[in-house]
Structures are given as C-alpha cells and as structure tokens.
Amino acid sequence: MDSKLDCIKFCCKNEIKCSDTLKMLQKCYGDDTLSKTQVYQWYERFKSGREAVEDDARPGRPSTSKTDENVDEIRQLLIENRKLTIREIAETTNISFGSVQSILREDLGLILHDDNAPSHNALIIREFLVKNNTNTIQQPPNSPDLAPCDFFLFDRLKKTTTRNSF
C-alpha cells in the first residue's frame, strides 16, 4: 500500500488533480487499487501538509489474541486436522470465535466455499449470511456446465496460490 500512497503523494505535490490520480492508479494497479474514497482522503491529507505515508496509530487496547504464537498454533492445528471447525479451534486455543475467524481469514488467507447443497440454501443460513454481510455468488442449480467457480473463483485462487508451495 505504501507504493500507492507514494504515487498519490507524488501526484499531489505535482498538482495533478485527484480524479486524474485515481485514474492513473486504476490503470496501473487495476482491481488492486485503493477505493475512490481512500484516494481522495489520502490526497487531502497530503494536500494539507502530511508527509508520512504510514497509517496513524489507532487508540485503544492492542489485540492480545492475534499474536504470532496464536497464528502459528492455529496453523499447526489445521495441519494436523483440516476438518476442525472454528468453534473447536476457539475452544482448543482459548481464543474467541471472532479472533479465530479473523486469524483464519486475514493471517492464514483461508476462505469459505460452499455449494448449492440444500443445507447451504436453507432460509436460516441465508438470513445469517445477510445479517453478517457475507458476500455470496448466485449459482445455477446443480449445473456442471455453468459453475461460477470456473469463471470467477478458480482464477482468483490460482493467482493467490501460484507463488506458494504446499
């Protein structure tokens, strides 16, 4: 992110309009660019005299559960048993459910992929996903010819896994 902020700072110092800065970032970084709001916020910060490209420290108590030791412990548990649920990991490690979920998603890069099984399409599950702002992809019912994973998910997964060895 620092390189993108350096680009915004450069454009601001050279009096390039913020809208043009956003277009250049989108052309250079594509989908990996900052949002329009973030670009405009950083542009204004640099315009008002800010020099540092690092985020400001946030107030509040630091997280005690997202430590390197806990991330390594959860990684090791998953290596031993890939079928563990988040709740089981939380109970084993004495870490909150939300913190385990955050570690799995943000630190270990795991994502959930479900299919059109009836249990995944139950009303209670759909309501839960909506309540928790979980993005879903509409899938055609049991059609191997029109699986969205072929067009959307696998390409993104391939991009993130090509640099890793397992």
Answer yes or no: is pLDDT of 23 > 70: yes
Whole-angstrom distance, CA of residue 153 vs CA of residue 115: 12
Q: Which amino acid is at 162?
A: T
pLDDT digits (tens, 9 = 90+) for 62-71: 777 888 899 9
The full set of domain ranges for the chain reads: 1-48, 65-110, 111-165
pLDDT digits (tens, 9 = 90+) for 91-134: 999 999 989 988 998 888 887 666 667 777 788 888 888 887 77
**What pTM value is reported for the model?**
0.43
Whole-angstrom distance, CA of residue 97 vs CA of residue 135: 20
CATH code of 65-110, in short, is 1.10.10
Q: Which amino acid is at 102?
A: S
DSSP-derived secondary structure letter, 107: I
Closest CA to 112 of 80, 85, 94: 85
Backbone region of residue 160 per phi and psi (left: phi > 0; alpha: psi in -120 to 50; beta: other values)? alpha
Whole-angstrom distance, CA of residue 152 vs CA of residue 147: 9
Mean pLDDT score of the chain: 81
Give me the DSSP letters along 29-81: HGGGSPPHHHHHHHHHHHHTT----SPPPPPSPPPSSS-HHHHHHHHHHHHH-
Spatial CB neighbours of 26, under 8 Å, sequence gap ≥ 6: 33
Mean pLDDT of 49-56: 78
Give Cα 27 distance to the centre of its chain.
Answer: 21
